[in-house]
Amino acid sequence: MALPRLRNRYALAATYLATVIAVTTGFTSNVNTAFLSKGAGTLPAAPKPPTSTFLNPPHPTTTSHPMSTTDIDQTTTSIDEYVESRGGDRAIKKVLIANNGMAATKCIMSLRQWAYMEFGDEHAITFVAMATPEDLKANAEFIRLADSYVEVPGGKNLNNYANVDVITTIAQEQGVDAVWPGWGHASENPKLPNTLDEMGIRFIGPTGPVMSVLGDKIAANILAQTAKVPSIPWSGSYGGPDDGPLQAELTVEGTIPDDTFEMATCRTVEEAIEAADRIGYDNGVMIKASEGGGGKGIRFVDKPEDLKDAYIQVQNEVIGSPIFLMQLCKNARHLEVQIVGDQHGNAVALNGRDCSTQRRFQKIFEEGPPVIAPRDTFREMEKAAQRLTQSIGYIGAGTVEYLYNADTGKFFFLELNPRLQVEHPVTEGI
């Protein structure tokens, strides 16, 4: 039958939005209880004002007739009742898609399928798209699928999909209930959720403070250690009996206390040399920029005489970023766990992926479920990811990444990506 296949195909993206519009009982009822526990840029000079265009007919591929007033009223009642019955505090009926291409297309298709399954009406939620002149010229699919679109300046993404001022202005003018950022662009810019929160608009994803602290690798490792997630020896936990893992709770501002953060940071070459000596060169040492990523701000050394030059290279590659050191995990596999959390402290681990095939620190392809780790070990990885998700109050979909040593059977925290990753369809397929 086609229905189960469709349900699997759209399950993850639909569940992502469901964590915002309806939480607690309805969200967790069909999930394995073993994993459950309650608890950028500036606007371009004199840009062309955004223009809103409504597509007519609204959905040419499904129907040539717009919904009647009666249909709309019934849908509104259904969504409100759905949210209220599950303990939610806000009904989301209109969403701005602050992205384009595959991200926008998949979001609209997924949520229309979810709305049809829940309410028998795929148009229960309406979508506003952002479209650049390039998107319009290409006759992009996501524009046709949306209920309406707003034309935004073209060119680099700082003019449009990565521009927080453009996104928030459109969200307010269009009267949307929520904004979905997709991946890339502004999806990891804390300014976006912070600004939307001030406007009373829901950001479908983590809060600004949590996003900010997870974007820093030093802070993320300290939070993981606090949640009892295993960590490899590094400048914030050398593994000895008297130099155990640094731990800290988030401050009111959503940050790590400065004194704890500095204890894990190597601000000078001399501090890096001291940390490397304590970690040891047997397996080699990785020098990493806390704000690096995508293969930037990372160097490997296996002898003391190479450390100074490598440290300076990292320092120059990601200017201004704090630097830390960690032991190289040899013969490691790169495994990750898909997590989803809601604002009420619920969290679920939705299996995982093996992304070990990489080139220049960039993933080439992913496969799932991971088979290199025994089932019991991977279950512990899922539970550790869930603990971290709950301990920091993470909301939305995210990915906890680990290094797994197949020789020893041990796993170590690497990072938590505070967004839905582009490779999430692997998990949907599972």
Catalytic residues: 419
Burial call 329-353: b when 16+ CB within 10 Å, e when fewer: beebbbbbbbbbbbbbbbbbbbbbb
- Alpha helix (H) ranges present in 186-302? 191-199, 208-214, 217-226, 258-263, 269-279
Q: What gap in Å lies between CA 321 and CA 314, rounded to an integer?
A: 9
377 near 409, Cβ under 8 Å? Answer: yes
Residues near 340 by beta carbon (within 8 Å), at least 6 away in sequence: 12, 15, 16, 19, 347, 348, 350, 396, 397, 398
CA atoms within 13 A on the CB side of 339: 34
DSSP secondary structure letters along 163-199: -HHHHHHHHHHHT-SEEE--SSTTTT-THHHHHHHHH
Q: Where are the beta strands (DSSP E) in 234-346?
A: 285-293, 296-301, 323-327, 332-341
Q: Return the number of other C-beta atoms located less than 10 Å from residue 125's C-beta.
A: 24
Q: Whose structure tokens read 């949210």?
A: 83
CA-based R_g, the chain, Å = 23
Would you give the distance in Å from CA 333 to the centre of its chain? 21
